[in-house]
Amino acid sequence: MKKKRWGEKYKDNRNWRNYNRKLVRRGEAYISLDFIE
């Protein structure tokens, strides 16, 4: 038996391209890439 969800389904309106760029930039600040050379 399937339960009925209460409320409306969450609609995700993020601009994923921009959001992903921000996460990559944030990751670059945490990870030093000097050890690769």
- The answer to whether the Cα torsion of 18, 19, 24, 26 is positive or negative is positive
| Tens-digit pLDDT profile for residues 1-37 | 777 778 888 888 888 899 888 888 877 766 666 666 5
5 φ, ψ (degrees, to nearest 5): -75, 140
Distance (Å, whole) CA 23 – CA 15? 12
* pLDDT at residue 32 in the model: 64
Q: What is the pTM of this model?
A: 0.42
DSSP string, 5-31: PPSPPPP----HHHHHHHHHHHHHHHS
* pLDDT at residue 17 in the model: 92
**Residue 9 in tokens:** 């389904």
